[in-house]
Amino acid sequence: MLSKEQNEMLCRVGPGTPMGNVLREFWTPAIRSARLEPDGAPQRVRVFGQDFVAFRDTTGKVGFLDEGCPHRGVSLALGRNEECGLRCIFHGWKINTDGQVVEVPSEPAGSNLASKVRVNHYPTHEAGGVVWVWLGKAEKPPQFPAFDFVNYPAENIVARKAIIPCNWVQLLEGALDSSHVSSLHRAWLTHGSNMMDGPHPGVMGALSVKYEINDRLYGYMANARRFLADGTQVNRMTEYVLPWFTMIPSTLKTLRGVLAVVPIDDENTHFWDFSWDEAGPTDVATVDRLRNSGKRSHDLDNYFQPRWGAEDVWGQDRQKMKEGHYTGFLALSFEDYAVQESQGTIADRSKEHLGTSDVAIIRMRRILLDMARDYQNGKLPDILTREIEYEKLRPVHEVIAPSGETITPMV
Ligand code: FES
Ligand SMILES: [Fe+2]
């Protein structure tokens, strides 16, 4: 349970908020690289309640600017992307990827107005098929979170996102909450092999979990342990990497993944999913088939479609439930989004009743709140100033037989 004030501090990310300020110091997934073509349409990007425009210039360089034209605030997403700059269609001012105004055709020849105007522009980095942006105020951007996918060719990686109309923290809590797996996702685990390679290794055997949280410089590793009646132990070790990354255990041998829950604003979130196959090229249909994800859209910019909301109970199909499906949803991740959206646009944590199975989310809240407070007091989070070996991080699904033998190899 949090006080109303703590909940506000945890959830709000707009300009000037404590959490918003510190989140801006992290490299942030912003838009898929493929959306930006050289001299192609500029794209609006909204993140942390702020609007930006992203474009790729004639040479392939990405520009990331405040959305409003410095002249009179017209959206630069309406602009013409030509000859190494974005030209506002209102009066023709042109701005390059460095935020420099390079032409002001509305002023008389010889005017020096252009040299006096600067547009806020932000460093970008492309990795995993996505443009990442740094919106921080520190001296320089931190180490890039180079998870192992950066070491694979583009064809091995599927990067996509869902757009979810609720606050980012409850989505992050869902990703870190291993204890819901055997309840909410029961239908997929019973009938399919979601995130499981071969026979189902035991998550359904016990509904309650015993957590062990191991603090790390980058966040924590949470081991959710299940003790089955026959003496088998099932361990699911989830990595939480500040501020929004999770790596969820799977027994698939070569398909790996990182999730990132990135606030669009206080009430909407981009749920990024980076999947990569160590063995070779893959695609979105193959990833969904291997994970037994159910029927979800293959639109890489929003796989949460068709879109339902509270008014139609998130598309829950009671007939499907009569036929034996536990929740009646088309796709496993839709189960997550439905329950998390149903907590309210910004979940009220002053009314909850937490138990021992909630320690992973309690710890995450603590870390985030401490981080926001430290940043207010002038301290950057350790993860941004110390060396982290992101490429070595691996979630683990492990099954230990009563004999003590590990029967599902660690992956
Ligand atoms: S508003 Fe953009 S050029 Fe005038
Ligand atoms: Fe889930």
Q: Are residues 176 and 117 located together in one domain of the fold?
A: no
Q: Are residues 77 and 158 located together in one domain of the fold?
A: no
Q: Are residues 205 and 168 located together in one domain of the fold?
A: yes
> What separation in Å is there between the alpha carbon of 33 and the centre of ligand 2?
27
CA-74 nearest atom, ligand 1: 1
User: Consecutive 10-residue runs of the chain (411 residues): their mean pLDDT?
Assistant: 96 98 98 98 98 98 98 98 98 97 92 91 98 97 97 97 97 94 83 50 76 96 91 92 96 93 98 98 94 89 90 94 92 93 97 94 97 96 94 92 81 51
Cα–Cα dist 84/99, whole Å: 12
In short, whether 72's Cβ falls inside 6 Å of ligand 1 is yes
Give residue 300's domain range: 148-408
CATH number of the domain enclosing 98: 2.102.10.10
Q: Are residues 384 and 316 located together in one domain of the fold?
A: yes
Q: Are residues 118 and 228 located together in one domain of the fold?
A: no
Q: Are residues 153 and 122 located together in one domain of the fold?
A: no
In a domain, residue 395? The reply is yes
Cα radius of gyration rounded to whole Å, the chain: 23
Q: Atom 4 (ligand 1): residue with closest C-alpha? A: 91
Of the residues 133, 163, 179, the one at which a domain ends:
133
Of the residues 133, 157, 172, the one at which a domain ends:
133
Cα–Cα dist 324/301, whole Å: 32
Our count of domains for the chain comes to: 2
| Selection from 163, 169, 184, 170 nearest residue 342 by Cα | 170
Q: Are residues 276 and 307 located together in one domain of the fold?
A: yes
Q: What is the pLDDT of residues 105-164, one digit of tens each?
A: 999 988 999 899 989 999 999 999 999 999 999 999 999 999 999 999 999 999 999 999
Lookup result for tokens 């691996």: 394
Cα–Cα dist 198/141, whole Å: 43
pLDDT at residue 380, rounded to an integer? 94
> What separation in Å is there between the alpha carbon of 73 and the centre of ligand 1?
7
Q: Are residues 214 and 92 located together in one domain of the fold?
A: no
In a domain, residue 311? The reply is yes
Q: Are residues 199 and 302 located together in one domain of the fold?
A: yes
In short, whether 114's Cβ falls inside 6 Å of ligand 1 is no
Output the pTM of the full model. 0.95
Q: What is the pLDDT of residues 214-268, one digit of tens each?
A: 999 999 999 999 998 888 898 999 999 999 999 999 888 899 999 999 999 999 9
In short, whether 11's Cβ falls inside 6 Å of ligand 1 is no
In a domain, residue 16? The reply is no
In a domain, residue 3? The reply is no
CATH number of the domain enclosing 281: 3.90.380
pLDDT at residue 192, rounded to an integer? 47
Q: Are residues 51 and 181 located together in one domain of the fold?
A: no
> What separation in Å is there between the alpha carbon of 25 and the centre of ligand 2?
28
Tell me if residue 188 falls in helix, strand or coil.
helix
Provide the residues around ligand 2 (an ion) whose CB is within 5 A: 336
CA-106 nearest atom, ligand 1: 3
Cα–Cα dist 300/338, whole Å: 20
